[in-house]
Amino acid sequence: MSKCEQCIVREFSSLKALNKEELLKIADCKSSYIIKKGEPIFEEGENVNGIFCVRDGVCKLSKLSANGKDQIIKLVSKGELLGQRSMISDEPANLSAIALEDMEVCFIPKSEIMPLFNQNNAFSMNVMRAICGDLKEADDHVVDMAQKTVRERLAETLLHLKDTFGTHEDGSLKTQLTREEIGSMIGTATESCIRLLSDFNKSGLIELKGKKIFLKDIKGLKREAE
Amino acid sequence: MSKCEQCIVREFSSLKALNKEELLKIADCKSSYIIKKGEPIFEEGENVNGIFCVRDGVCKLSKLSANGKDQIIKLVSKGELLGQRSMISDEPANLSAIALEDMEVCFIPKSEIMPLFNQNNAFSMNVMRAICGDLKEADDHVVDMAQKTVRERLAETLLHLKDTFGTHEDGSLKTQLTREEIGSMIGTATESCIRLLSDFNKSGLIELKGKKIFLKDIKGLKREAE
DNA sequence: GGAAAAGCATGATAATTATCATAGTTTACG
DNA sequence: CGTAAACTATGATAATTATCATGCTTTTCC
């Protein structure tokens, strides 16, 4: 079993504030999982009782709305933590986490993490800052959803996907999402999403080759996103 | 100057975890303000450098969107804290806080609060839980904005206003908002908001008497909100 | 107390987006 | 390797929402 010390999650997350001793303790009680594409790490309403470290892969955090449609709130990838909010609030998960590709995650039980808040102030502050960052993002997200058109949201989301997850060597977006998933990120019907992608394609802003999406005109897309 | 000990904010916020000594220290360096209706407590982009305790009154937290319209994210009232996120992230305010009625607030400088995170774990955990609560609310808000119609959002918002801020003796909503403000809570044009309120009025779900709004049929409104 | 400003209301019209229908294309998998 | 299922695409139409215009009512403030 690895000792967590070299783990990419430690490098990029709040866990970087942990010392050797604390890491060893965690390494001892963590469990590792392989999650296949399409499978959940946890689901809305479930008691999680710990946090997940994403060692590899990307997942979507989504929530079922009253009308039965899924809304994707956020994508989470390699190096990030999952389930902090539920653990701290001591509540069931508010969102489902579903793998978009095969994933490697570690689970650290609540009983190991909670004492650290008392022992290690730097760690506490890291977690607080991370959650504050999420809160700011969420507030901004509300503004976008409320004030931007679907077209603007699509352009913005494409740019965001490129910035956050990058592109393959050929220039196509790395995150492989279906049209339905893109639709549920921007909060629109799948058909509307497809239609707008076609529009962007026709106006030369993007290029569609099967499932691959190439962003051809970043400036133009930024203009579309306002 | 009051000693904070009996303050309503202490009773309802994260500050309840502070002991006598800590409270006295804070009481010594706090400053009190009267904010008139329509005036800002702080504005988007401003460096706040501390937290505000809302001793009386209600304010809106809002953000200017790219298209020049204001989006109200949240209302904050008596007993709550303001500015925690900016302080912890050490960033300028993401939202503006504007008084909806005359307010009484106290300001506690960052330099007094930050050390408490290290000294008083119960306080730290309270703050974390509060922010986690805000994050959950914000995520749910995103889902509503993305998936519900304006009509559904209006019904939901009216119910929320009643639950959170209550009604006057005559049964009308306590929070006095203009139609424009209600519109910018639900993310719609003022005219659309007015039209839908008229609709609800005609169908007997609510009653409009000047600026006053009476919720006449809670069940019906819940049905409208889905 | 009265003028100006802000707020409320409603009609007409246009733009945006959803829904339903149909069909072609790709992917998964027995 | 071929068939079912999932995904992508597009047209037609309806529903929702925004925008512009106009007039009325209430509030503000000199």
Q: Report the distance from CA of residue B221 to the C1' of nucleotide C26 in Å, as an integer.
A: 45
pLDDT level of residue A1 (50, 70, 90 thresholds): low
Rounded CA gap, B65 and B85, in Å?
Answer: 20
Residue B187 Cβ < 7 Å to strand D: yes
Q: Does residue A207 have a pLDDT over 80?
A: yes
Instruction: Count Cβ atoms below 10 Å from residue B196 Cβ, excluding itself.
Output: 21
Average pLDDT, chain B: 94
Helix (H, G, I), strand (E, B) or coil at B92: coil
B43–chain A nearest CA distance, Å? 15
State the best of A128, A150, A193 to mutate against chain B, taking most chain B CBs within 10 Å: A128
Using the CB atom, is residue A189 less than 7 Å from strand C? yes
Flag if A148 and B91 touch (Cβ within 8 Å).
no
A33 to chain B, any CB pair closer than 8 A? The answer is no
Among the CATH numbers 3.40.605.10, 2.40.440.10, 2.60.120.10, 1.10.10.10, which is that of A8-145? 2.60.120.10
Contacts for A130 with CB less than 8 Å, ≥ 6 apart? A13, A14, A81, A84
Is the per-residue pLDDT at B1 higher than 70? no
C-alpha dihedral, A12 to A17 to A22 to A26, nearest 10°: -30
CB contact under 8 A, B117 and A136: no
A32 touches strand D (CB under 7 A): no
pLDDT bin (cut points 50, 70, 90) of residue A22 is very high
pLDDT exceeds cutoff 60 at B9: yes
Determine if strand D comes within 7 Å of the CB of B68. no
Lowest mean pLDDT among A195-199, A222-226, B85-89: A222-226
Q: What is the DSSP letter of B46?
A: -
Confidence check: pLDDT of A19 > 60:
yes
Q: Which nucleotide is nearest to A208 (CA to C1')?
A: D8
For strand D, the positions having any atom within 7 A of a protein Cβ are: 6-12, 16-21, 26-27
User: Would you say residue B198 has pLDDT above 90?
Assistant: yes
Concatenating the DSSP letter of every residue in A72-127 gives: EEEEEETT-EE-HHHHHHT---SSEEEESS-EEEEEEEHHHHHHHHHH-HHHHHHH
Q: What count of Cα atoms within 13 Å lies in the side-chain half-sphere of residue B154?
A: 27
Nearest to A81 by CA among A21, A11, A136: A11
Q: Which of residues 142-201 of A touch strand D (CB under 7 A)?
A: 178-180, 190-191, 194-195, 197-198
CATH number of A148-224: 1.10.10.10
User: CB distance from A68 to chain B under 8 Å?
Assistant: no
Q: Please tell me if residue A91 touches chain B, with a CB cutoff of 8 Å.
A: yes
Q: Which CATH class is domain B149-224?
A: mainly alpha
Scan for tokens 């008497």, then name that residue. B209
- Is strand C less than 7 A from the beta carbon of B198? yes
CA distance, residue B215 to nearest chain A CA (Å): 22
State how far the Cα of B105 lies from the Cα of B48, in Å rounded to an integer: 14
Residues B47-60 as b/e (b if ≥16 CB within 10 A, e otherwise) read ebebbbbbbbbbbb
The sign one gets for the Cα dihedral A104, A109, A110, A112 is negative
How far apart are the C-alpha atoms of B179 and B206, rounded to whole Å?
A: 14
* Average pLDDT taken over every residue of chain A: 94
Q: Is the pLDDT of residue B170 over 90?
A: no
Residue of B91, B120, B135, B156 to mutate, interface with A, max A Cβ within 10 Å:
B135
- Nearest-CA distance B89 → chain A (Å): 5
Buried b or exposed e, range B94-114, using 16+ CB within 10 angstroms: bbbbbbbbebebbbbbbebbe
Q: Is the CB of B191 under 7 A from strand D?
A: yes
pLDDT of amino acid B89: 97
Range A125-152 average pLDDT: 96
The pLDDT tens digits of the residues spanning B72-127 come to 999 999 999 999 999 999 999 999 999 999 999 999 999 999 999 999 999 999 99
The residues spanned by each domain of chain A are: 8-145, 148-224
